[in-house]
Amino acid sequence: MNSIKEMQEAVQEVLPPQCELTKVEVEGPQVVLYLKNIRAFYEDRNLITKIASRIRKKIVLRSDSSTLLPPTEALVKIKQAIPPEAGVTEVKFDPVFNEVQIEALKPGLVIGKGGMVLKTMILETGWSPKVLRAPTSPSEIERAIRAMLVANSEERKKFLTGLGKTMLQPSTACEWVKITALGAFKEVGRSCMLLQTPKSNIIIDCGINIDTTDPSRAYPYLNAMNMALEQIDAVILTHAHLDHSGFIPYLYAYGYDGPTYCTPPTRDLTILLQQDCIHVMNSEGKGAPYSEKDVRKELNHMITREYGEVTDVTPDVRFTFHNAGHILGSSIIHLHIGEGLHNIVHTGDIKFGRTKLFDAASTYFPRIETLLIESTYGGPEDSQPSIEESGGRLANIIRETIQRRGKVLIPVFAVGRAQEIMLVLEEQFKEGELLVYLDGMSKEASAIHTVYPEYLRKNIQRRILTNDSPFDKPLFKHVVPKERRSIVESDEPCVILAPSGMLSGGTSLEFLKMMCQDARNSLVFVGYQSATSLGRKIQNGYKEVPVLNSANKLDALKINMQVHTCEGFSGHSDRSQLLAFVRSLRPKPGRVYTMHGDENKCDDLARTISRMLHTEARAPMNLDTIRLK
């Protein structure tokens, strides 16, 4: 359908006249029907399915503004409808979208059996309920994001309706598909790829390399696109880590005005990490390439989609997110191009193995002509022990360090590895046996995990839903900046979890400077260390490493503390898991391209996959452009 008028006519052919349709709007990838009589709509349970199949879009129902109760009256009826044990923490009315945002500790009770409580609220007040889960511990970032989205409703509405109109363009025959490698091909960091058809320019991920001081290697090769940023149609984001998301605000700062698609937890974690990135880069004197204003603009342009939800991006490209098993909300992207012309699976970062937090990456897709797969641990020597073995070894290192009255510093990625290690420590140590300090963003990231338990493994879901969140245990104590030195100087043995995971900055580097000369202490690496990072130098046995001091000059840091690498906690698949993932794919891919790994690992994994599948597999370089069809 090429216009809203055509769409409205199609809806009216199916919709009973007593529903009193007043308006049809297209908000990005979904169609909104405004009705004066929603009660009449609910009389036919199959009506929404009939309309959706007719116009082939996701349908959202809203009451016409003339039928809304005043917020004060509506609030009374909403409170009457929701049982007190739901633990409602906040109710906000959004007159721009005719929605009421209800935050509760137990959203299921707000929804009711079969959605009956929601139905009661919309019938009695007219306002469409939008139910949000409250974090189990206070979260400044969740509160800020939710408040900002309501405060900027007018701007978001204008953006979404404008986007919807552009997406109504008629689809045309798609004659070709090509991709261009703009970052993280034969390297790790600054992930970015451009997907193009005759009608579409779509960026998949747009990250930074935070572990280099070389500006030419820090950011994607956006100038190689040979187009203005305004010509980009959409950004699709696999997950929140900065090497995938960290350069997106730059696009908005310099002309891009389109959507960024991601899962709901990816949106929240991305904003958290980007704000911290600005703070760290500015405080270290590097200067951030964008400002908080650009992050806010990005938030207003983010469109969240759940796993399995098919979404039209342009007239000739649609995509679906699938679980990647890497971090909270991380996604494999399945792209369907043209009317069956070509199908791409882009893995982002994947974990095809057991972890304490997530199910293994998905392997079933409708079609796969081209697979792009990460290769972080794709080398022939890359083998990781089981999570049980790793947990036992980490516990032994900690106990040995405590016996000599030392402290253990574990550099972690605040999103993913911090929570995985927290679960391991909770399992390995009894309450009162150990004190674990969490510094930096780990507290906020853990709170976000409790907002989206449906993205976690079933046993962790159950714990969060029954007020037994593993992230809120007395074992864990959150650090405020003024406490850091006193923690290091005390005689009390402890474990410190601090970002960043590669010692490239942040609080882990602060703690390292204070702890590195005491031989009683231990430094334990539990995640990937890039080839150019400070963490890799120490991991390789350097006893003296260069670091910047407060005057922005290099000091030599002597490493006297014991250094350990405890593998098995990574959110990336090791080589055997990567190969098992490829073998498990249904259907089998027609061709394979490796990415997101050191050069030799990308090359070796591609050769192995080629032999294993008897198909074309190779490792492109940055700036390569490949025609897929």
Q: What is the CATH number of the domain that holds 152?
A: 3.30.300.20
pLDDT at 550: 67
Tens of pLDDT, residue by residue over 226-261, are 999 999 999 999 999 999 999 999 999 999 999 999
Last-in-domain residue among 13, 37, 66: 66
DSSP 222: G
174 shares its domain with 144: no
In tens, the pLDDT along 350-394 reads: 999 989 999 999 999 999 999 999 999 999 999 999 888 999 999
Q: Which CA distances in Å does 559 have to 268, 478, 508, 548?
A: 37, 26, 14, 15
Measured distance CA(314)–CA(200) in Å, rounded: 7
Q: Are 403 and 453 in contact (CB under 8 A)?
A: no
Structural domain that includes position 82: 68-163
The CATH number covering residue 18 comes to 3.30.300.230
Residue 453 structure tokens: 């338990």
Verify that 229 and 314 share a domain, yes or no.
yes
Does residue 177 belong to any structural domain of this protein? yes
* pLDDT above 70: percentage of residues in the chain: 99
The 3 state secondary structure assigned to 130-185 is EEEECCCCCCHHHHHHHHHHHHCHHHHHHHHHHHHHHCCCCCCCCCCCEEEEEECC
Sequence-ordered list of residues with C-beta below 8 angstroms from that of 584, at least 6 positions apart, any chain? 352, 363
What confidence tier does 551 reach under pLDDT thresholds 50, 70, 90? low
Residue 387 within any structural domain of the chain: no
Domain assignment present for 373: yes
Same domain, 455 and 602: no
CATH number of the domain bearing residue 490: 3.40.50.10890
**Count of domains observed in the chain:** 4
* pLDDT surpasses 80 at 536: yes
Count CB-CB contacts under 10 A for residue 481.
Answer: 10
Distance CA(241)–CA(136), nearest Å, equals 23
- Give the DSSP H/E element, type plus range, for residue 304: strand 302-304
Q: Is the pLDDT of residue 170 over 80?
A: no
Q: Would you call the peptide bond into 380 cis, given omega within 30 degrees of 0 as the criterion?
A: no
CA atoms within 13 A on the CB side of 505: 18
**Measured CA distances, 484 to 202, 364, 388, 469, 549 (Å):** 44, 47, 31, 26, 17
Per DSSP, 307 falls in state: B
Residue 391 counted as domain residue: no
Best CA proximity match to 184, nearest among 138, 126, 242 = 242
Confidence (pTM): 0.94
104 and 230 co-located in one domain: no
